[in-house]
Structure 1
């Protein structure tokens, strides 16, 4: 634990003083499971990555005088085959950092036939942020999760299936709750139902077969409960990759359980717009999300 504290001290110095991102391993002592990827990780086309076999967190902490105490773990999309780390990851974190919100970009391990791997990493990331909340200037009750496309599926998985932590664990991180306090879902994959699901994400996570148990397990509109955290959903009406019905069904499920939610369906934006300045209506979502955080009194 001394090594972790030393690292987080260095992390605070570098991130706050020179606004530079730092990297923290999600499993510093080794993950409890293996996704089987033996090829080296590869970056291409900007900072998209594939062959991810080790999970890492890129932490962007705001300046102390701007700090709201809020944090967001960010899951980039890419169909569970790649991860678009820039406009669906680091750029979102930078925007949040400027608003006084800690942005933590999660480079999760890709599944490669091991469906439990990405959500295992996402839950561990949330626990890690909670464990380090005091050192990082974060309120442990204001830690959200965000995700785009398949990253939105991962975020909504973490937001619907969670636990309070294992208080008997010798690992202090595992003692922490992995329940996010709110969700930001950008054009998310939600369901694995053939009628309106994204079959590429489904095949990459659970395989090409028709395992009804796994389809139900990862169809997150079926996993909503009264304990599901509030959600802010963003999508475009002209999305041809992930049908808008994904978000609509999830929103409807949230409403059945009286979970607070806000959804914006923009006329134009397509799929995968992230936080880019495209000149399309969907560009407005970051400020709308920040307004929602203030309206919910998450940011005060």
Structure 2
């Protein structure tokens, strides 16, 4: 558990800044104007002040693709991320809560709008300070291999707590939320928050990386077939991984008494990531006595986020999350 006194000392006594120097701009399509009524965020936090560790042998070129056919609705995805960073959504009146959001993308890319900016805007409108993480992808040659996205998530959590004073948040009220493959990042962080995946960079790395609550939404979770999402599994672990490697990266096998309370959502008609991913993670959490709230919906498919949930019972999931988080002390 996070020690409140230790966290406050780190953020207040040390006075760690949330942002130092010029930061890398958010991922964007060159020359494309934002959608009317949806201003693009500008505030970012680079995770690694001296560059991300374990650079690939071949330099990456960050690329943003627009997948939407509707000019009034963006659906961007980014890959080739060599400068992992958080994009910040500040609420008008902070309620003290923060959330690290890890969008999905099958570990092929990181989606920007559908599972990043949209839920960040929704939560920020309700007082949450939101940090959308553009994490490095394990199939792009990083030295950390399958731990590279976890490294970014750990570092991000520590930087959020380091900047708690500047962001008007409480360091013991920081959630993690992830979708699909980003749900794997979220569940990995919730179960392996204290794993040593990178060499400490600065004083922020003395802070806890454990989220106070976790919300893996329709998560890629198991790395075992037939439950695993094949594309995410191949990019994370390579072809034909050993049983030991599968287990080491399946959060259901790593749940411990220190895993935070967890909120789970899945549609039973998900044809991309089987609902068994959520059911197996729930069973593992219950076996360790971890508080877990689970919502299963008949219809929703995969990747519903906010936009594809509209008009269905599953559209209530964000409200259910906020109500549940209040029961866990995030009020």
Paired residues for 1:62-81 under 5 Å: 62-63=91-92, 66-81=93-108
Paired residues for 1:138-177 under 5 Å: 138-163=169-194, 171-177=202-208
CA distance in 2, matches of 1:35, 1:290: 39
Contact 1:37 1:52 (C-alpha < 8 Å) held by counterparts = no
CA distance in 1, matches of 2:53, 2:62: 20
Q: Report the TM-score, using the length of structure 2 for normalisation.
A: 0.81
CA distance in 1, matches of 2:215, 2:45: 22
Alignment partner, residue 56 of structure 1: 85
CA distance in 2, matches of 1:274, 1:212: 32
3-state DSSP of counterpart to 2:204: coil
CA distance in 2, matches of 1:20, 1:171: 27
How many residue pairs end up in the alignment?
A: 287
Contact 2:17 2:162 (C-alpha < 8 Å) held by counterparts = no
3-state DSSP of counterpart to 2:206: coil
CA drift of 1:56 comes to: 1.0
Gapped regions of structure 2 (runs ≥ 5): 1-15, 24-38, 68-74
Alignment partner, residue 64 of structure 2: 43
3-state DSSP of counterpart to 1:271: coil
Q: Tell me if 1:24 matches 2:45.
A: yes
Report the aligned-residue RMSD. 2.3
Out of 199, 221, 226, the residue aligned to residue 257 of structure 2 is 226
Instruction: Call closer, same or farther: CA 1:209–1:280 in 2, change over 3 Å.
Output: same
CA drift of 1:211 comes to: 2.3
Alignment partner, residue 109 of structure 1: 136
Alignment partner, residue 35 of structure 2: none
CA distance in 2, matches of 1:296, 1:257: 17
Alignment partner, residue 290 of structure 1: 322
Q: Report the TM-score, using the length of structure 1 for normalisation.
A: 0.89
Instruction: Call closer, same or farther: CA 1:170–1:263 in 2, change over 3 Å.
Output: closer
CA drift of 1:200 comes to: 1.1
Contact 1:35 1:110 (C-alpha < 8 Å) held by counterparts = no
CA drift of 1:37 comes to: 5.4
Alignment partner, residue 120 of structure 1: 151
